[in-house]
Structure 1
Amino acid sequence: MSLQYQIVPVTPFAQNCSIVWCDETMEGIVVDPGGDEKQLAEVIQTLGVQIVHVVLTHGHLDHVGGTQALQKLLGQVDIIGPHQADLFWLQGLENQSQMFGFPPTYAFEPDQWLNDGDSVSFGHQVLQVYHTPGHTPGHVCLFSESARVAFVGDVLFQGSIGRTDFPQGDFDTLIQSIKTKLWPLGNDVTFIPGHGPQSTFGHERASNPFVADEMPLY
C-alpha cells in the first residue's frame, strides 16, 4: 500500500490542487481546490478515488475558491483546515473574488480547523499537520512520513518562498516556519508547492536564495 497523488493546476493563477489517495482502499482527499471544480470532479471520477475530506492549507482565494462547489459535487465531504488564524481570509472571500475578477465566492468556515500536531487520515494513510505561519497566519503544511512527501501550499516554492506582503503576513515568521518545521523532516522529502514545479527540501536548502543554509545537496 502506498500514497498516490495527482496534481491538477486550477484557476488563472495555476494553483496546484492535489488529489491524494491510498492505493489500497482508494480513499483520498483533495488539497486546495481553488477552482475549476467540475474539472476536478471529473479527474476524481476517472481515478476512481472516493474523497473523504477536502483539506485547505490556507485561506487565499486561489486555494479555496472551489471548495464549496466541489463539496456539493462530491456529496458533502468534510472541509478540514486551515488553522483558525486564517478565519479572516475565509470571511473575506467575497471581497477577494471581486478584487481578482473571480466568480463570486462566499464566506464559509471549515468543519474542522487544524492545529500543529494534528493528523489527517484517509484509507491507510496519515498526513501530519504542521502550522507554518508567515505567508498567512493560519497556513498549514501536510506531511506523509511513509511517502516522504509534503504538501506545502504557498510556504515554499522551487527557488522561492511565499509572499509576505499580504495582511498579517510576516517574512521572519515564514523563514522560521520553513527552517524549524520543514527542514527537520529531511532533505529527501519531495514537496508539492501551491504553484510551480515540485522540488525537494534538500535541493532548496542547497540552492534557494531565501532559505539556503549551505547544506550539501545529499
Structure 2
Amino acid sequence: MSLNYRIIPVTPFQQNCSLIWCEKTRRAAVVDPGGDLEKIRAAVAEEGVTVEKILLTHAHIDHAGGTAELTKELGIPIEGPQKEDNFWIVGLPQQAQMFGFPAPEVFTPDRWLEDGQQVTVGNQTLEVLHCPGHTPGHVVFYHKESGLALVGDVLFHGSIGRTDFPKGDHATLIRSIREQLFPLGDEVAFIPGHGPMSTFGRERATNPFVSDHRG
C-alpha cells in the first residue's frame, strides 16, 4: 500500500502544509502545520483519516506556528526537527511578532530527529535526512516506495531556501541538496515548503543554484 498526500497551503506565506497518510490503515501525519488550522481540520475530515502525529521539517513560524495548538487539540506527539532548531522554537513568539502572525505557544518536540532515523505513518516508513543550511536543524522526510520527499525550505522548483537567517549557511545548504537529496534519484518527486512540486532530476537539469551545470 502506498503513502497518499494532500497539500494544504497555509498562512499568508502560502506554506505547503502536507497531510500524508497510509492508504491501508488511514493513519495520518500533518507535516509543518504553520497555521490556518481550520483548513487542516477540513482536509483531515474530507479525507477521513486519523492524525497520529505531527512531523516538522524545521521551526520557522510559517511551518511550526500551529504545532502547539494542534498537538493539544488532538493529543498527538511531535516528531522533528533536529535539535539544532530548538532556538527557533523558543523564538516562535518573536518570529510571530516580526511577521504579524498570531502569537503561538512554545513547545518541545516529543522526539528530536537525526539523520538516518525513520518515522512511521500507519504502516508506512519514511527516512529522515538532516539537511542543514536554511536552518541548522532542518530535516527532510523521504518515502522510498512512493519516490516522494517532503523537503521543507531546502529546495524549491527553480530555487533554494534562504540562508540569510540566523545560523543559515549557503555552502551548507548547497551541500545538503547535492549530497543528501540528489543521490536519492532523478525520478524522486518532492513537495517543497512553498510553490509547485518538482523532481530532483528537473532541478539538477535546470535549477540555477544547484544544477549540474554549475560544477
When the two structures are superposed, what TM-score results if normalisation uses the length of structure 1?
A: 0.96
Structure 2 residue aligned with 1:23: 23
CA–CA distance in structure 1, aligned partners of residues 78 and 3 of structure 2: 20
Where structure 2 has 5 or more consecutive residues not aligned to the other structure, the ranges are none
Cα deviations by residue, 1:92-127 (Å, 9 ceiling, x for unpaired): 001000111111112211111000011111222111
How many residues align? The count is 214
Q: CA deviation at 1:90?
A: 0.2
Q: CA deviation at 1:212?
A: 0.1
Where structure 1 has 5 or more consecutive residues not aligned to the other structure, the ranges are none
Cα deviations by residue, 1:145-175 (Å, 9 ceiling, x for unpaired): 0000000000000000000000000000000
Preserved contact between residue 69 and residue 105 of structure 2 (Cα < 8 Å): no
Q: Secondary structure at the match of 1:90?
A: helix
Q: Secondary structure at the match of 1:29?
A: strand
Preserved contact between residue 82 and residue 140 of structure 1 (Cα < 8 Å): yes
Structure 2 residue aligned with 1:61: 61
Instruction: Report which stretch shifted further, 120-129 or 6-15.
Output: 120-129
What is the percentage of aligned positions where both structures have the same residue?
56
Which 4+ runs in 1 deviate beyond 3 A?
Answer: none
Cα deviations by residue, 1:39-79 (Å, 9 ceiling, x for unpaired): 21121022111111100000100000011112233x21110
Preserved contact between residue 68 and residue 106 of structure 2 (Cα < 8 Å): no
Cα RMSD (Å) of the superposition? 1.0
CA–CA distance in structure 2, aligned partners of residues 38 and 158 of structure 1: 27
When the two structures are superposed, what TM-score results if normalisation uses the length of structure 2?
A: 0.98
Preserved contact between residue 38 and residue 70 of structure 1 (Cα < 8 Å): no
Q: Secondary structure at the match of 1:141?
A: strand
Preserved contact between residue 41 and residue 70 of structure 1 (Cα < 8 Å): no
